[in-house]
Amino acid sequence: MTRPHLPTTTGLRVVVALAQHGTVSAAAQALNLTQSAVSKQLKALEDLVGLALFTRTSRGLAPTEAGVIYIAQARVALGALETAAARVAGLRSSRPALRLHVLPILGDRWFMPRFSRFVEAHPDIEVQFSTFAASDTIAEADVVFRFGDGQWPGWQADYFLGREVLLVGSPQFIARGGGIAAPEDAWRFPILEHRQTPLHWSDFATSHGIGEVRAERLVRLGYYSLVIRAAIAGQGLALVPRSLILDELASGQLVNPAGLGYMSRNCYWLTTPLDRPRSADLATFCEWALAEARETESASRPAPPAQTPRAASQRS
């Protein structure tokens, strides 16, 4: 009705990616677009909406109040489309598609670079991704990657990634702050926290036997990608699963002072529903993913960890 002037789906993906990556260039990379395309899509969408959705700073973009609202709905819309695709894909062939739900950070940092290998090795298995789907849709997935302690009633959980959590920061930033030799030194710096995983810092403290978290400043961010970005930009110290920042560590953008870190109970798990029979395709995929993950974790590690992460699985 009344020329609805609807946004483009690309526009929606753009704002969501922008919120997640905090910068036009990074979002562009994540979307396989150029910086200029993203910039223009954003402008177009803002013109359509009639309000700025992001405030521009020299370091990147941050959603405005309107942006937060709009982005949330954009995510709902994209989730609906993912759900539609996933459900319909199930109908399409006699061999139903494998439905995966991945967290954004894993999608960007782990799957995107690796998944083509799986497709090459198993061209006959059709895989349907989702990252925005609503929780009721997630329940339909064949594989759900989750973050937590491995306890999800009704789901088998196999350890996937991220048990080894490192204290990291930008090298210049740490040096300027006087360096870090012991765990307590961390409290002299602002610390960065991922909103969905707030336990990391207290776990860090207790695992080093240094009591309370008493950092000078705490910055809470909504996405792991933002935490990593902020750490690189020298805005604070972060606790990040090592496997997510192999590149940054290798290139020296981030350093792990004094090898501080700990083995976290909370990490990424590959979970599969227990109430459905495991198809052969599902088994194939899980095997592949777990093997690749093991390789990721052992690769480019200076020294193997004291305890090797072991696969766990339990029902409840």
Rule CB under 8 A: choose which of 44, 62, 77, 246 binds a second copy: 77
| Contacted entry of a second copy, DNA, none for residue 62, CB cut-off 5 to 8 Å set by kind | none
Complex with a second copy: residue 30 or 237, whichever CB lies closer: 30
20 binds DNA (CB under 7 A): no
Burial class (CB in 10 A: 0-12, 13-18, 19+), 197: buried
Complex with a second copy: residue 20 or 256, whichever CB lies closer: 20
Return the structure tokens found at 80.
Answer: 């609906």
Beta partners for residue 168, in sequence order: 238
87 binds a second copy (CB under 8 A): yes
11 binds DNA (CB under 7 A): yes
Contact 169, 234 (CB under 8 A): yes
**DSSP letter, residue 107:** I
**DSSP letter, residue 6:** P
Complex with DNA: residue 30 or 42, whichever CB lies closer: 42
Interactions with DNA, residue window 28-47 (CB under 7 A): 32-37, 39-44
69 binds a second copy (CB under 8 A): yes
Helix H or strand E encompassing 101: strand 98-101
What residues contact residue 165 under an 8 Å CB cut-off, 6+ apart? 200, 203, 204, 239, 240, 241, 242, 261, 262, 263, 264, 267
- Nearest in space to 260 (alpha carbons), one of 176, 179, 175: 179
Rule CB under 8 A: choose which of 57, 76, 206, 308 binds a second copy: 76
Q: How far is the CB of 155 from a second copy (least distance, A)?
A: 22
Strands 98-101 and 60-63 come out as: unpaired
User: Which region, judged by CB under 8 A, interacts with a second copy, from 68-76, 145-153, 155-163, 235-243?
Assistant: 68-76
User: Which region, judged by CB under 7 A, interacts with DNA, from 52-60, 130-138, 208-216, 242-250?
Assistant: 52-60
Interactions with DNA, residue window 157-186 (CB under 7 A): 172
Using CB under 7 A, list all residues that contact DNA: 8, 10-11, 23-26, 32-37, 39-44, 56-61, 172, 234
